[in-house]
Amino acid sequence: MIHTRISGTGSFLPGDAVSNEALIAARGLDSSDEWIVERTGIRSRHLAAPGVTSSDLAFEASRRALQAAGRTAADVDLIIVATSTPDYVFPSAAALLQSKLGNTNGAPAFDVQAVCSGFVYALTIAEKFIRSGSHKCVLVVGAEVFSRILDWKDRGTCVLFGDGAGAVVLEASDRPGLLSSAFHADGSHHGILSVPGQICGGVVTGDPFLRMDGQAVFKFAVKVLADVANEVLDAAGMTAAQVDWLIPHQANVRILQATAKKLHISPQKCMVTVDRHGNTSAASIPLALDEAVRGGRIQRGQHLLLEGVGGGFTWGATLLKF
């Protein structure tokens, strides 16, 4: 049987950390550090400089993941980028990343748009390609520049998000790695988190900024994250007590805490980076994963539960043995 394992991780955050105080001063926000920390747990985030794109961030994260895996770009036979903020309408961020990496072997490259669940979606898709036998080495990336779609006059949303990228190299293996996965969507909830605008005839129509009903998102997120976590645990014949690390999408510290509590997973087993990264959407899970791997907290042989929920609404989880 063909299994799938993560052989390397990498991440990249643009520029210096921007504290709540610095953001408030720079944007003239009617807010405070205390207000932001109390409601979200966020103390700082990274913001890409003008001209820096999602594929730029993806390139840096991918380069580090390939190095960690002992692979080169030539070894990659599939590239999947999860992003809601691609460089262009087309070509895809994945195609642009392929060019920057110098991958010239004709590997397919495409984007996945599932917002904050995007990395779990991309990981699940990649695993199916590998297990089918059609591909052996897949680069899976989450990369976002959410700062480009924020309304800096809306203090309820603009303080929440940051920019960044995370990547993993996924390879065929004779040892179990990804144990189970599940992903879902329910488009009837699209109105509580969206960017309801588009380009038509060269001009913006609708609203080009991120809009969110925070309370509705919180209630929905906690429920589906617990449900999908239990789904993948059941599929693998495991319990939450056997999970060494929970790595959830880093949306809000309250959502992280509520989800861990509902799963009866100790807060000490829940990876938290939202305080320093903000919500980096599809990049948040691989960013947290790479930080924990490089920091020595995650060790080979440990069981990790990755899960995310995002606009759409979409949600999913992956249980793996690292």
pLDDT in 10s for each residue of the chain, 322 residues? 999 999 999 999 999 999 999 999 999 999 999 999 999 999 999 999 999 999 999 999 999 999 999 999 999 999 999 999 999 999 999 999 999 999 999 999 999 999 999 999 999 999 999 999 999 999 999 999 999 999 999 999 999 999 999 999 999 999 999 999 999 999 999 999 999 999 999 999 999 999 999 999 999 999 999 999 999 999 999 999 999 999 999 999 999 999 999 999 999 999 999 999 999 999 999 999 999 999 999 999 999 999 999 999 999 999 999 9
> Cα–Cα–Cα angle for 98, 11, 298, nearest 5°?
130
Identified catalytic residue from 20, 103, 252, 279? 279
In order of start, what are the domains of the chain with their CATH numbers?
Answer: 3-175 (3.40.47.10), 179-321 (3.40.47.10)
Do residues 292 and 271 lie in contact, with contact meaning Cβ atoms separated by under 8 Å? yes
For residue 240, give the amino acid letter.
A
Do residues 74 and 103 lie in contact, with contact meaning Cβ atoms separated by under 8 Å? yes
Known catalytic membership, residue 46: no
Identified catalytic residue from 46, 116, 252, 270? 116
Known catalytic membership, residue 20: no
Question: Three-state SS for 202?
Answer: coil
Known catalytic membership, residue 277: no
Contacts of 79 (CB under 8 A, 6+ apart): 94, 97, 98, 101, 103, 107, 108, 109, 110, 138, 139, 141
Predicted TM-score (pTM) of the model is: 0.97
Identified catalytic residue from 46, 135, 249, 277? 249
